[in-house]
Each structure stands twice: as C-alpha cells, then as structure tokens.
Chains A and B, each alone.
Chain A
Amino acid sequence: MDRKRPMVALTAFFSLLLLYLPAAAVAVFSVNSARIGFAWKGFTLKWYARLLHNEYIQEAAVNSLLVAAVSTAVATVLGTALALGLDRVPWPRKAHRVFDVVINLPVVVPDIIMAVSLTLAFTLLRQLSGVFALGMSTLIIGHITFQISFVTLVVRSRLASLNKETDEAARDLFASNFYLFRRVTLPLIMPGVLAGAMLAFTLSLDDFIISFFTHGPESVTLPIYIYSSLKRGLSPEIYALSTVMLLFTVLMVLIAERFTRRL
C-alpha cells in the first residue's frame, strides 16, 4: 500500500548505505596494490597472501577459533543442563524468580560491567588459589560465562514448546528416566540445543569487550589484534583480514538461515 512513499524507500536505502558503505570501502581497498594512500594502483591479492604468512594473525585466528570451540562445547552442555534442571522439575514459584534473575543477568548487564566483574572475580580467585592467571583459560571461562544464558534461553523456549503428552506416553510404555531423556527429550530439544550452540559460537567469535579484559599477552584473538593494530595506523593487511572476517560472517548467517529453515 505504500507504493507512493519515496521518503520511506529513500530512508531504507540510506540505512543500507550506512550499514554497508564502510565495509565496501574496506573490501575495495583490500585489493588495491597501493601500500600507502588511497590512489587506485591496480587489483592485487597480495595482502591476502600476506595474511597467510603473518604469524601473529595466524596465531590470533587459531586462538579465536579454539576459544570459540571450547567455550561453546562447555556452555552448550551447562546451558542445556540448566534449562532441563529448571524446566523439568516442579520448583516453587519463588525459586523460579531467583533463577530467572541469574539467567537474565548476562543479557541485561552491560558487557563492560560483566567484563569488569570477571576481572574482579579472576583477581580474587587468583589470590585465593594461585591459578587463574590471565590467559587462554580465563578467556575461555569468560566466554562461557556469557554464553550459558543464551544457550539456556534458546533451549528453554524449545522445552516450553514441547507438550506433556509425549512424556506421559513414554511413561505409559514404562520408559525409565534415562530412556526418556535419551530417546524422547533429547531428540526433541536437539534443534534448540544446536541453535543455542550456534548462537554461542557466533557470540564468542564476535566478542571484543569480554576478551579485551580477560585475555593475556599470549592469548590474543582476532578482534583484539585489529584493535591493537590501530596504534600503528591503517594498513591494507588489516583491510584484507577485515574482509575475510566479514565474508565469514556472511557465510555463518547464510548457513544459520538454511539451518533454521529446515527445522
């Protein structure tokens, strides 16, 4: 009905411009052969080739993927257990209210405060136990902490959509607790668990603030590498790296879309 609304269409396209123009500029200059300055000196892929030879970038990429993989695995198990423990047990209403506050904390609390809290927790734990030096382990623990809630929220919404009758039917057929979980509940919530895991993985790869506060000198991730490279100014190598990361995001979104449409 809004066919004759040029302003609406114009604003929509302006929004897209705002979202994509900077990224487009990065992509264009990532294939420009000029080292300094912005004059077009011809197409090249040498900056991409350099990425493959840059040890620091390789290490950061490995760190990013390792942290994302490990933290996602742990957070998916913990988050799913939390969702099951809360939803499949008749807790009193008051207990539910307390649980809800704790689960929603990472969603509501600004991430810089979460990062500061984690720093404080690690310092206190370090004084108590002697471990928890800032590094790979604190980075992974930090990521798990904000991932758990998101996994729980996704799995819970899946659990809420299942009906009681399936459980009752299984019980009528003398299903044991373990059999009920293994053969009925788990297959039914699996799409939710996978969606939660995917969300957690993307959040981890994407995170900067929590990582910035909890990483150690030898556990630099890609966003932290780019941030610290700013001190040396703009460089075509970083354009290439940014473009690769952007394309990776596009790929993840497309896969996620395929994935959710099939469910």
Chain B
Amino acid sequence: MTESTGRKARKMISWRGDVRDARELRLAGLALAGPPLVWLATLLALPCAALALVALAARGPYGQIVWSFSAANFKRLLGYGLFGWSPDFLLILLRSLEVALVTTVVCVLLAYPLTFHIACRPRKARVWWLTLIIVPFWTNVVVRTYAWLLLLSPQLPPAKLAAWAGFVPPGGALYPSELAVYLGMVSTFLPFMALPLYASVERLDWDLLEAARDLYAGRWTVFRQAILPQTLPGLSVGLVMTFVPAMAMFVVSDILGGAKQMLVGNLIQLQFGQARDWPFGAMLSMALMIMTLASLALCRRRPKNL
C-alpha cells in the first residue's frame, strides 16, 4: 500500500458518513454496475448500432449478409427498384405513421373524458375504475387481438349489423379491414394513454377551471388555458407510450389487417423471417428508429412553445 501512496496521492473523499478512497469506491461501483452494463451493451446497444452497418450490406443468394457497402437498400426503400420507381415502401412507412397518429388521437379523445369521469368518482369507485383500466394494460396483446377476431366474426351481432347496413357483404366478417385494425390498436393502447393522463388529472386544480368559467371562457378556452397546461406532464408521457409502440406494432395489423394493411412492423418481421433479407430489414428498422426518435424530439420540444 505504501508504494501506491508514494506513486500517487490517494484522493480521499467524504461519502455518506464515511471517508473513502475515491478510486476504490468507483471500482466497487464498477464491480456492481459493470456486468449489467456490459450485458446491455453487448446485447442491445451494440447490435442496435450494428443495424446501421447491416443496412448498408447486401443479401446473399442464401439469405446471408454480404458486406458490400452501398446505398442500394436506401434506394430500394425510396422506391427505386429493378422496374423503375414505385413508392410501395414509402407508402407503408407513411401508413404506419398515419395509423399511429390516428390511434394516438383517438386514444387522447377517449382518455380525457375517461380520466375526468374517474377523477370525479368517490374514492372507492375510483379504485375500481382504475383496476378496470390496469387489467387490460397487462393482458397479452395476442390474447386481446384474438378476442377481437372472435367478436368481429361473421356470425356475431357486430358483423351482422354491418352486413344489414350494407358495409360488408352478407355473411362476411368485419376483418380484415382498416376498422378492425383501429379497434385493435385503440383498445390496446388506450390504457397506455389513460393511466399516465390520470396521474395528472387526479392532481388537477379545479379552482382554475372555475376561475376560467367565471371569466366567461368558452369550453375550448377552458380546455386550452386551464386543463391542457395542467395535464401536459401526463399527456406527454401518454403520447410517447402510445405513439412509439403504435408505430412499431405488428401483431394487431398482422392478425386483423391482412396483407393490405401492412405496416412497417410487419415488413421488418417479413424481412427477418420468410424473406431472409436482413440488410433490407435493418434499413427498415433504421427508418422506423429515425421516425420514432424524431417524434420523441418533437414531443419534448412541444411544451415550450405551447
């Protein structure tokens, strides 16, 4: 020990009621945090970054990765194929964006009345309502989507009603369709929106709403000036928790949407599954990742200029 102190003075610091050698303390911290950090780095952070490299490679004849660095996959994503330009992949990206946006907006429109209704219940009833929202939050997405498949099948009242009204041919099911996808998406993500929003609505200062009304604010103004600023923390968490997974969803669109309603999630799954075109799948993943990060950044900036 005397050698080391001779080489370099030990830096002692006061730390939580003890005097510790700073370097020793950090080594102990590294011993604890090191293994999990290495785990996350090798299995998640590095492969995530490696996707960017794979996206520049090409697919070999047997589905293996051929390391030829080119922008071919990017061009293909933009629609330049063997047979001239066709925007199929861009349209799928756009539709994913649209489905995620519409789902998020519908969830917001449902979640505000829902959370206000819950917040106005007596204490005991509130616990029950919350439990009713938390249970679907934890039920498996495959089970829930399967349930929609059953509910929308031809012999049950919803499809019969739609057939009677002429929306679907008699004896036809309500799936695969856009409506089915939206029903599945909204019912999957509504708890993700409602739970964080409720955390804000619960702490709402109702006096501000009354004050706004006393000053003859219309309904929209009350919402815009008194409710929205107060619920913004919960709303922005809800927006992220809904929009990000909605963009990447592939179970609901796969089961309820069929081939016509393909989203970028399905396309990625297809490339890594049957098509065995990992480089193109990696390029699609990068596109999804960039769209996700961009929307996250947008959501973070929003509160300032509200």
Of B2-10, B79-87, B127-135, the stretch lying at the interface with chain A is B127-135
- Chain B, residues 189-205, CB within 8 Å of chain A (1/0): the string is 01100100000000000
Contacts of A78 in B (CB 8 A): 35-36, 39
CB <8 Å contact, B289 and A81? no
Contacts of B251 in A (CB 8 A): 208-209, 227
Question: B29 within 8 Å of A by Cβ?
Answer: yes
Question: A263 within 8 Å of B by Cβ?
Answer: no
Question: How many residues of chain A get a CB closer than 8 Å to chain B's CBs?
Answer: 90
Question: A84 within 8 Å of B by Cβ?
Answer: yes
Contacts of A148 in B (CB 8 A): 36, 39-40
Question: How many residues of chain B get a CB closer than 8 Å to chain A's CBs?
Answer: 89
Question: A52 within 8 Å of B by Cβ?
Answer: no
Instruction: Give the Cβ gap from B10 to chain A, nearest Cβ, in Å.
Output: 15
**Of A81, A168, A223, which is within 8 A of B16 by CB?**
A168
**Of A23, A25, A113, which is within 8 A of B289 by CB?**
A113
CB <8 Å contact, A114 and B140? no
CB <8 Å contact, B190 and A15? yes
Question: B285 within 8 Å of A by Cβ?
Answer: yes
Chain A, interface SS category = helix
Contacts of B206 in A (CB 8 A): 1
Nearest residue (CB) in A for B268 is A112
Report Cα–Cα, A27/B33, bound state, in Å. 46
Of B67-75, B110-118, B161-169, the stretch lying at the interface with chain A is B110-118
Evaluate whether A110 and B292 lie within 8 angstroms (CB atoms) in the complex, with A26-B147, A89-B26, A202-B138 already known: yes
CB <8 Å contact, A29 and B32? no
Question: A246 within 8 Å of B by Cβ?
Answer: yes
- Chain A, residues 54-84, CB within 8 Å of chain B (1/0): the string is 0000000000000000000000001101101
CB <8 Å contact, B46 and A121? yes
Nearest residue (CB) in A for B116 is A8
Question: A136 within 8 Å of B by Cβ?
Answer: no
Nearest residue (CB) in A for B191 is A19
**Of B35, B142, B148, which is within 8 A of A22 by CB?**
B148
Evaluate whether A81 and B133 lie within 8 angstroms (CB atoms) in the complex, with A25-B151, A144-B39 already known: no
Question: B274 within 8 Å of A by Cβ?
Answer: no
Instruction: Give the Cβ gap from A189 to chain B, nearest Cβ, in Å.
Output: 13
**Of B35, B37, B288, which is within 8 A of A102 by CB?**
B37
Instruction: Give the Cβ gap from B107 to chain A, nearest Cβ, in Å.
Output: 10
Contacts of A89 in B (CB 8 A): 25-26, 28-29, 33
CB <8 Å contact, B120 and A145? no
CB <8 Å contact, B134 and A253? yes
Question: B225 within 8 Å of A by Cβ?
Answer: no
Evaluate whether A15 and B114 lie within 8 angstroms (CB atoms) in the complex, with A82-B32, A121-B42 already known: yes
Contacts of B33 in A (CB 8 A): 81-82, 84-86, 89, 99
Nearest residue (CB) in B for A251 is B135
Contacts of A47 in B (CB 8 A): none
Nearest residue (CB) in A for B26 is A89
Question: B183 within 8 Å of A by Cβ?
Answer: yes
Report Cα–Cα, A234/B268, bound state, in Å. 26
CB <8 Å contact, B138 and A120? no
CB <8 Å contact, B17 and A22? no
Question: A118 within 8 Å of B by Cβ?
Answer: yes
Instruction: Give the Cβ gap from B33 to chain A, nearest Cβ, in Å.
Output: 3
CB <8 Å contact, B150 and A82? no
Nearest residue (CB) in A for B46 is A121
In the complex, 18 of the A-B residue pairs with CB atoms within 8 angstroms, ordered by the A residue number, are: A11-B114, A21-B151, A39-B155, A78-B39, A81-B35, A85-B28, A89-B28, A102-B41, A105-B40, A109-B48, A112-B248, A112-B269, A113-B288, A113-B289, A121-B47, A124-B47, A145-B43, A208-B141
* Chain B contacts to A: CB under 8 angstroms: 13, 15-18, 22, 25-26, 28-37, 39-48, 50-51, 54, 110-111, 113-114, 116-118, 120, 131-136, 138-144, 146-151, 153, 155-156, 183, 186-187, 190-191, 194, 206, 209-210, 244-245, 247-248, 250-251, 255, 265, 268-269, 272, 278, 281-282, 285, 288-289, 292, 296
* Given A148-B39, A253-B138, 5 further pairs, Cβ under 8 A: A15-B190, A16-B132, A81-B33, A117-B48, A226-B142
